[in-house]
Amino acid sequence: MTRLHVHHDEAVRRTLGDTAMSEADLRGKFIWHELITPNAQTAADFYSSVLPWTTEASTVAGYTLWMTGPVGVAGFMTQPQTALETGAPPNWLVYIAAPDIDAIVATAQRLGGKLLKAPTDIAGIGRFAVLSDPQGAAFAVFTPAMAAPTGLSAAPEGNFSWHELATIDPPGALAFYTELFGWTRGPAHDMGAGGLYQIIEHAGRQIGGVHVLQDPSKPPHWLSYVQVARLTETLAAVSAHGGRVLRGPHVVPGGDRVAHIADPQGGVIALHEPSQAVPADLPHTAAHNPGRRRPAAHRASKQRKPVKRVAKRASKRAAERRARPAAKRAAKPSARPASARKSAAQRRTRPAAKRAAKPSARPAPARKSAAQRRTRPAAKRAAKSSTRPAPARKSAASRRTSARAKRKQSAARPALRRLRRR
């Protein structure tokens, strides 16, 4: 499936470094990446145009190295004829360092892993084997023949900076890899319906993440991220050279930007831009957390402390707002002497007491007897009549003249009625 033996000694030395490290530090380190693809030349043209990679021939025909400056970062080769006939898709394979290949293979099989390629020696290079975890994701293990290397101390542009496992059983996969390579669990990010994204750490540094596989049509797999300086320009180059942008770009926790791409033949890889120049209008997501090659404690302090400070300030302001009305109410009564405060019973009886007090301030009018009340209308009439002058009394002659006039009027009435009838 793979042919790591194509690396010549100088390429391996430039790829992995020259300074020795302990076996404990070597165990579990992502040490190499390899693309198996239908057409090697097409892959060489695409990746060399999109990434800051150059190609370098190896001493073995059919295997080529990708270099970033003087350092080798990956290799690629054409798929075997049997794979081409079965229509196997292109795939990237990760190599993880192990101090003892035979021991790691035995442990992997005991934990439920499968052996895909038996341990093989490469003269002057080392020993490797290809395995799959209990859920089916393939990976390789490799022991260098030279003194255990340190590898790169940082992830410059063009180097692999993050590794991500999509699996159908994240807890089971984590149990397998933590026992196999000594990885530890870092922080976890809630992706909502996508479940938890669990960070994995190696030697105190975040190196990747594990999450549940979202596309059931794909098998469990590892996805590797390559660091780039300008993600937007790189994605434009991907499209211009026949590749496809599968996902992103989007901002992940910590401010970095990521995107998934497919090369013209279908090989899938991810790109990662550090957070120095992330546009503010891009959406955030907790789906991925590509690592910055910095100590885990440094990243954790940068990401968590501001959040804690903001939450603390918000909590303090809310407490002050809640306490302010109570403080005002407590301050007002204290300004008056305690004796001035009235009880509820006193406040209820106050109106009645006021009404009772007002009439007592005026003298009560003298109460009249019943006889006085009965004689009052007659007295009023007498008083009124006494104030008007009596009418002048008529003489006897006037009274007789008036009587004659009335009789004449009475006698004339029948005649008037007869005239009206006519």
- Is residue 400, in this structure, part of any structural domain at all? no
- Is residue 82, in this structure, part of any structural domain at all? yes
- Is residue 200, in this structure, part of any structural domain at all? yes
- Is residue 351, in this structure, part of any structural domain at all? no
- Is residue 408, in this structure, part of any structural domain at all? no
Provide the pLDDT for residue 403: 75
Structural tokens at position 137: 């994701």
> Which CATH number does the domain housing residue 91 bear?
3.10.180.10
- Is residue 54, in this structure, part of any structural domain at all? yes
Provide the pLDDT for residue 91: 92
- Is residue 133, in this structure, part of any structural domain at all? yes
Give how many domains the chain has, as a whole number.
Answer: 1
Range(s) of the domain holding residue 83: 4-291
pLDDT tens for the chain, 422 residues: list them.
Answer: 333 333 334 444 444 443 344 565 689 999 999 999 999 999 999 999 999 999 998 877 788 999 988 888 999 999 888 877 777 889 999 999 999 999 999 999 999 999 999 999 887 778 999 999 999 999 999 998 875 444 443 447 899 999 999 999 999 999 999 999 999 999 999 988 888 999 999 998 999 999 999 998 999 999 999 999 999 999 999 999 999 999 989 998 888 999 999 999 999 999 999 887 444 444 444 444 554 434 333 444 444 444 455 556 666 776 777 766 655 555 554 444 444 455 665 666 565 555 555 555 455 556 667 666 666 666 566 555 555 555 566 677 777 777 777 777 777 777 677 777 75
- Is residue 343, in this structure, part of any structural domain at all? no
